[in-house]
Structure 1
Amino acid sequence: MVMEDIKLYLSYFRTGLLFSTLFTSGMGFLSAFSPNYPCLLALRFLVGVGVGGGHVFSSWFLEFVPAQNRGTWIVVFSFFWTIGTVLEASLAWVVISLLSWRWLLALTAVPCFLLIPFFGITPESPRYLCVQNRTSDAMLVLERIAITNQAALPPGVFTYHQEKKVDHTVLTSEKEDLLPVSEKECTFDNAMSSKYGSGIAALFRLLSRKLLRSTLLLWFSFFANSFAYYGLVLLTSQLSGANRSCTSGLTNAVQQKDANLYKDTFITSLAEFPGLILSAILVDWFGRKASMWFMLFTCCAFIGPLVLHQNELLTTVLLFSARAVAMGSFTVLCLYAPEVCTFIGR
């Protein structure tokens, strides 16, 4: 999240994404050459700072997607996160046993480096350009999209209205408490856009009296989802078979521990796929808030039995199920948050 504030200071959206990618890949690659454990911790901390900027990708992506298709496309978008998680678990399973952890860290940084050349053809968000009063640039992006898709833009003159009123009589219940009286209060005119273009000013905007309640609720939702998701990731290693009982023979114990840890991590990573499918089914049928409530409650139900000692099979099943619904809830939240923050400060 720290990186998000940094990128809001930058003039162009793509520049921020490029900086985040360079920073993350660079720190990740350097961590493979750490001379000691404190240095490794410091570099991995910086990698975490860079990964925090990854949330900008989802906001950028959703600004290209029509409102009626957002639920489906955010799930498709999240599938690639899950693919990366599964591939990383597979890579750790193979590389650490054959090579070393340094090779794992170096290879993990490779996809970010491969992403860098694609920023040259990455279009800027038309909505962002409009808010910056660059409608001609936004029009060029839209024309490029139309040509690529072999389609034509709708007839008429391209305009951007920042002061369009919001009719609360047609809002769904899950938006009524979070949207202000009018979109004018949640968007900027040209002068205010410049003022709130920086991360610090946008933060104060989020903490204003009219948005404070919504902001705190969203922050707590992200905290709860992150706490559950990454807690399950850590529980997988803690509750792997070799950590649950005493064994004789140091070498055999270590080998068994590594084998069980990588196996359980791989299996629970696969759980994210059914979680994404579940979120795709629920998000448009039952709404954003109802879907998140249901999946978080179900996650708690799966975690509860782990307080007591369970056999390895049941432990893996419970971790698998809990991670599935935790990932589903996180996906819906990543869709819900940009829809609530309808101004450039998102």
Structure 2
Amino acid sequence: MAVDSLLKTPNGNNYNATSNTIDSSCSNDDRESGAGKSKHSRTENPDGKTDCGDCVMLVSDKKGNVKYSIQESIDASGLGWFQVKLSIVAGFTWMADSMEIMLLSILGPVLSCDWFLASWEQALLTTMVMTGMMLGSSYWGSLTDKYGRKTALTLATVLIGYFGFLSAFSPMYIWMIICRFLVGCCLAALPQTAVLYSEFLPTKARPAGLLFLGIFWALGAAFEVILAMLVMPTLGWRYLMAFSAAPVMLFPIFNPWMPESARFYMTCGRYHEAEAMLKMVAKDNKKPMLEGTLSTDDIKPVERGRVRDMLKPPHRTLSCSDILKDEKTFCFVECRAFTDEDYKDLIVTAFADLPGSDILKDEKTFCFVECRAFTEEDYKDLIVTAFADLPGLLVAFVFLQFFGRKSSMAISNFLAATCLLISNICMTRLYLTGFLFVARAMIAGGYQVLFIYTTESYPTNIRAVGMGVTSAAAKLGSLITPFIAQVLSGYSASLTFSLYGVMALLATVVALVLPFDTRGRAMVDVTH
């Protein structure tokens, strides 16, 4: 390739390798006035953000060799068939995650009838799953950064299917607790899907793409409820658990195609494999590959997946804000409980337990849960609950069009807090249901924005462990909320509303004081 030759960028602009400039359709006057910047140039802002529009900025080294970055290659390839296939694989794992979580809402009341469980024992079943997820999150994050996104996700899905299937044969409560704890340990790996998915998305499409994953969560929850409707009346809960584990065990079928992250290859020093992966993206999307070579100047093989790297600036400040996830999940899980059959029975003074059960109370303590079989109406309510996240995702998408990640999370939390605190006012059941529905939607949307912020905040060498550590922090709220949903709420609904309202307000403040916003930022591969 001649040094003084002109190359074509994907936008049709001429690139002069000698002068390291792009000949665009902008006039000289436009360039001088800055009118052409938004479309044909990329500038580095003082805060580190990149203003590039739809351009691809090629650079050359001292010898005149044209080079491009991973993000520039992915942006040039755009959205296409590659992302469609990856969306199916990523969505499949999120469906598996939501199926296992929704299974708890159905399994708890049923086991209370079969094994005469107290309310705290029923709550402990959920808590053990969340404990497993908390303990496993950092481990899977480190494993994902060290050995690859594909390897970790494949191993995790196989183990989820195995322990999930084993749960169906539990002879007693203690064995069920152990099996579900192990399932939780493996479920902790599934948020890493967002890491893999984000690393193949064009910059402009990243927010919408990660919000899109939330739709698969709703589909998985709805599928689990429909499966329960078909299986529970005739075959019972053991068959339901076995059938629920079957889909995730089929995940290895996708393994031959499932891509490994090009960014992961770069941090490992496997540059040729990274370039081959980028060529696959361009080929699947039917776009020409950028001319030149993949730039490796700023990316050298580094230690990956070390939790202690998160204690170094600037990640130390960011990690201290993990309480945001804690508070969001604290509210999020509780609002999921609100929107089951509690939507029917929730009144200002008290509200019921999970669907399919009523709690008998005396003045001092809870007794065993009274058995009542799930009805068709109960299942319908759960299906509606499963799709109640969708309005929140839509609102979050709108917020992201006008605001940054921080502001979107703060607004979502503030609206959720407002609705929860207003719920303390005496009102009709219809209005109360409406406020709780809005609160749930806001928390669901804001929580998904948090996934976007997390993947964009950490460099590639600790992105997965960053996701793991923050997910572990999030599970602190998940550990506590089953007891609040099933114990505290029975004494005072007003106190429960106030508790979650205050937590949502705290999450609002934490979102606002996060050290930076990631809107418009390129994903970082290595922090030097």
Q: Give TM class, smaller chain.
A: 0.7 to 0.9
Q: CA deviation at 1:10?
A: 4.8
Structure with more helix by fraction: 1
Instruction: Output the CA distance in 2 between the equivalents of 1:315 and 1:103.
Output: 37
Instruction: Output the CA distance in 2 between the equivalents of 1:318 and 1:104.
Output: 33
Q: CA deviation at 1:93?
A: 3.8
CA contact (8 A) 1:93 1:263 kept: no
User: Which of 379, 389, 399 is the matching residue for 1:282?
Assistant: 399
TM-score by length of 1: 0.80
Structure with more strand by fraction: 2
Aligned to 2:417: 300
Aligned to 2:240: 104
Structure 2: gaps spanning 5 or more residues: 1-136, 346-350, 353-357, 361-369, 464-528
User: Which of 316, 331, 352 is the matching residue for 1:228?
Assistant: 331
Q: SS where residue 290 of structure 2 aligns?
A: coil
Question: Per the alignment, do residues 233 and 286 of structure 1 end up closer, same or farther by CA in structure 2, a change over 3 Å counting?
Answer: same
Aligned to 1:154: 290
Question: Per the alignment, do residues 27 and 319 of structure 1 end up closer, same or farther by CA in structure 2, a change over 3 Å counting?
Answer: farther
Q: SS where residue 399 of structure 2 aligns?
A: helix
Instruction: Output the CA distance in 2 between the equivalents of 1:14 and 1:343.
Output: 15
Superposed CA offset, 1:294-340 (max 9, x none): 11122222333555776654454344322211110111000001111
Instruction: Output the CA distance in 2 between the equivalents of 1:233 and 1:246.
Output: 18
Instruction: Output the CA distance in 1 between the equivalents of 2:445 and 2:208.
Output: 12
Aligned to 1:185: none
Superposed CA offset, 1:134-183 (max 9, x none): 110011111122222222111111113437xxxxxxxxxxxxxxxxxxxx
Aligned to 2:250: 114
Q: How does 1:31-42 map to 2 (within 5 A)?
A: 31-42=167-178
Question: Per the alignment, do residues 75 and 138 of structure 1 end up closer, same or farther by CA in structure 2, a change over 3 Å counting?
Answer: same
Q: CA deviation at 1:265?
A: 2.5
Instruction: Output the CA distance in 1 between the equivalents of 2:245 and 2:293.
Output: 45
Aligned to 1:172: none
Aligned to 1:54: 190
User: Quick one: which amino acid aligns to residue 316 of structure 2?
Assistant: L
Instruction: Output the CA distance in 2 between the equivalents of 1:322 and 1:40.
Output: 33
Instruction: Output the CA distance in 2 between the equivalents of 1:7 and 1:300.
Output: 36
User: Which of 183, 187, 208 is the matching residue for 2:312?
Assistant: 208
Instruction: Output the CA distance in 2 between the equivalents of 1:143 and 1:209.
Output: 35
Instruction: Output the CA distance in 2 between the equivalents of 1:141 and 1:23.
Output: 27
User: Which of 437, 447, 459 is the matching residue for 1:342?
Assistant: 459
Q: CA deviation at 1:230?
A: 1.2
CA contact (8 A) 2:145 2:264 kept: no
Instruction: Output the CA distance in 1 between the equivalents of 2:251 and 2:436.
Output: 32
TM-score by length of 2: 0.54
Question: Per the alignment, do residues 240 and 79 of structure 1 end up closer, same or farther by CA in structure 2, a change over 3 Å counting?
Answer: closer
Q: CA deviation at 1:210?
A: 3.7
Q: How does 1:312-323 map to 2 (within 5 A)?
A: 313-323=430-440
CA contact (8 A) 2:144 2:151 kept: no
1:85 aligns with 2:203: no
User: Which of 317, 324, 329 is the matching residue for 2:441?
Assistant: 324
Q: CA deviation at 1:342?
A: 2.4
User: Quick one: which amino acid aligns to residue 418 of structure 2?
Assistant: A
User: Which of 376, 381, 389 is the matching residue for 1:264?
Assistant: 381
Instruction: Output the CA distance in 1 between the equivalents of 2:210 and 2:203.
Output: 11
CA contact (8 A) 2:419 2:436 kept: yes
Q: SS where residue 294 of structure 2 aligns?
A: coil
Q: CA deviation at 1:236?
A: 3.8
Aligned to 1:131: 267
Question: Per the alignment, do residues 125 and 319 of structure 1 end up closer, same or farther by CA in structure 2, a change over 3 Å counting?
Answer: same
Q: SS where residue 124 of structure 1 aligns?
A: coil
CA contact (8 A) 2:148 2:261 kept: no
User: Quick one: which amino acid aligns to residue 170 of structure 2?
Assistant: S
Instruction: Output the CA distance in 2 between the equivalents of 1:64 and 1:235.
Output: 36
Superposed CA offset, 1:106-138 (max 9, x none): 121122122221011111111110111111001
User: Which of 355, 366, 372 is the matching residue for 1:254?
Assistant: 372
Q: SS where residue 269 of structure 1 aligns?
A: helix
Q: CA deviation at 1:83?
A: 1.3
User: Which of 144, 150, 153 is the matching residue for 1:17?
Assistant: 153
CA contact (8 A) 1:241 1:260 kept: no
User: Which of 16, 20, 26 is the matching residue for 2:162?
Assistant: 26
Q: Which of the pair has more CA radius of gyration?
A: 2
Report the RMSD for the aligned CA atoms in angstroms: 2.6
Instruction: Output the CA distance in 2 between the equivalents of 1:78 and 1:237.
Output: 19
Instruction: Output the CA distance in 1 between the equivalents of 2:233 and 2:138.
Output: 35
User: Which of 138, 141, 152 is the matching residue for 2:277?
Assistant: 141
Aligned to 1:273: 390
State which drifts further: 225-234 or 136-145: 225-234
Q: SS where residue 155 of structure 1 aligns?
A: coil
Question: Per the alignment, do residues 246 and 22 of structure 1 end up closer, same or farther by CA in structure 2, a change over 3 Å counting?
Answer: closer
Instruction: Output the CA distance in 2 between the equivalents of 1:253 and 1:204.
Output: 49
Superposed CA offset, 1:235-258 (max 9, x none): 3457254664899xxxx9824x65
1:66 aligns with 2:202: yes
Aligned to 1:178: none
Question: Per the alignment, do residues 236 and 145 of structure 1 end up closer, same or farther by CA in structure 2, a change over 3 Å counting?
Answer: same
Question: Per the alignment, do residues 38 and 131 of structure 1 end up closer, same or farther by CA in structure 2, a change over 3 Å counting?
Answer: same
Matched-pair identity in %? 25
Instruction: Output the CA distance in 2 between the equivalents of 1:3 and 1:263.
Output: 38
User: Quick one: which amino acid aligns to residue 312 of structure 2?
Assistant: S
Structure 1: gaps spanning 5 or more residues: 164-188
Superposed CA offset, 1:250-306 (max 9, x none): xx9824x65554343222221111111111111132111111111112222233355
User: Quick one: which amino acid aligns to residue 86 of structure 1?
Assistant: A
State which drifts further: 267-276 or 295-304: 295-304
